[in-house]
Chain A
Amino acid sequence: MWTTAIALAVLVIAGLIGWGVWQSQKSDSYAAPAGITDDGGKDAGVLAAGTGPVTVEVYLDFQCPVCKQFEASVGPTIDQLVAQQKIKLVWHPLGFLDSLSTTDYSTRSASAAGCASDGGKLKSYGDALFAQQPPEGGPGLSDDTLIQIGETVGLTQPSFAQCVRDGKYGNWVAHVNDLAARRGVNGTPTVFVNGTQLTDRTPAGLTAAVNAAG
């Protein structure tokens, strides 16, 4: 019976270690990028574009091929709705797919998007990241490449480069991940129109939902 006691103790201790490690990895404090939308703890996206009355929230991951497809198919419609001042576009850049690159590209690119938001060019930077999305299973894009892409959209200031290299908004990305999971968002892309999840993620589906909400 004493072997059972030892084994039970080992299992309980392993569980406690797991709990401790998990707790220590969670960070409650994070640096928030410019343009963050805080609606009382439920939400920590960043305003990407627009001033319209209807809020369109997109949970995205720059490593996610389906997000790239969504960007290609529905992106022009979103841009149009922004130009018509119908919507406010909020992005939640997630780091869900860190396991799909050898360098945690998912979190690094989302953090870089926070840096781009500081520079006032989140939307054009994000679009550029999707255009140059690295394949799954590889090393992702290097920090140097993330900085060069910033230069192509006008993020030439040294503070942007420093912010990318420091991974300044990594903790914020973890926070966005956590809030997303809490909201029941387990995959990307996920779209909400005025708080209601959009099931028909097509240009027509989005337009209809925005018109209904507005």
Chain B
Amino acid sequence: MAGQRWALLRPWLGAVSRLILGGVWIAAGVSKLDDLAASARAVSAYRLLPHDVATFLGGVLPFLEIALGVLLIVGLATRLCGAVSAVLLVAYIVGIASAWARGLRIDCGCFGGGGDLSAEADPGYAGEILRDVGLLVLAGFLMALPRTRYSVDSAILPAESTSGERYVANGGSEVE
């Protein structure tokens, strides 16, 4: 039965989503850590926010990304982390799309770096947006179905068991 297979598969897909999304957040945050001034300039280079707001975000975002990544990987408050991830990703997609639409030629600063590109360098906006949309799908999946394998959530909230049978019995829903 397809529904049964899905019920068995779902927590595992969720766990994989958590690991991918969390891993990307940690990589993105860590890559910006050693030059927070560059991170601030990267945000500033989008020319969307007042300079002081941009530099504030540039200093804060790397740490937020790392914390979000760790929470996702351990699986604590997965629904909230999926929602925060989705908000960040939508903001990044809007930022990149807006830079593209305005004809800016910038390094997105997604994994460190940032700033204007030279005339011959390819900004690669399409690929970046595609990647972020892919991650947004994972974030949406975790928001909708936050109960996943190997997560703190399922370990400390026994009311909603992670066993496959339970999911089948509930017809895929998480309420009793």
Contacts and interface: CB of A to CB of B under 8 A. Distances in A.
Interface of A: 3-4, 6-8, 10-11, 13-15, 17-19, 21-23, 25-26, 65-66, 96, 98-99, 174, 177-178, 181-182, 184, 186-187
- Minimum-distance CB pairs A-B, first 10: A187-B116, A22-B59, A18-B63, A7-B77, A14-B67, A186-B45, A18-B60, A186-B116, A66-B118, A14-B63
Interface of B: 34-38, 40-41, 44-45, 47, 51, 55-56, 58-64, 66-68, 70-71, 76-77, 79-81, 84, 106, 112-113, 115-119, 152-153, 156-157
A7 B79 CA distance: 10
Contact of B47 (A10, A11, A13, A184): A184
A181 B46 CA distance: 11
Contacts, number: 99
Contact of B59 (A11, A23, A181): A23
Contact of B36 (A6, A8, A22): A22
Contacts of B34: 99
Contact of A99 (B64, B106, B113, B156): B113
Given A23-B59, A187-B115, A15 B37 contact: no
Given A4-B80, A182-B51, A15 B36 contact: no
A98 B42 CA distance: 13
B60 A15 contact: yes
A11 B36 contact: no
A84 B45 CA distance: 36
B59 A19 contact: yes
A48 to B, nearest CB: 22
A11 B76 CA distance: 12
A3 B152 contact: yes
B44 A99 contact: no
A25 B37 contact: yes
12 contacts: A3-B152, A3-B157, A8-B80, A10-B71, A11-B71, A15-B60, A15-B64, A18-B61, A23-B59, A99-B112, A181-B45, A187-B118
A18 B62 contact: yes
Contact of B41 (A15, A19, A186): A186
Nearest to A96: B115
Contacts of B66: 14
Contacts of A14: 63-64, 66-68
A4 B70 CA distance: 14
A181 B117 contact: no
B76 to A, nearest CB: 5
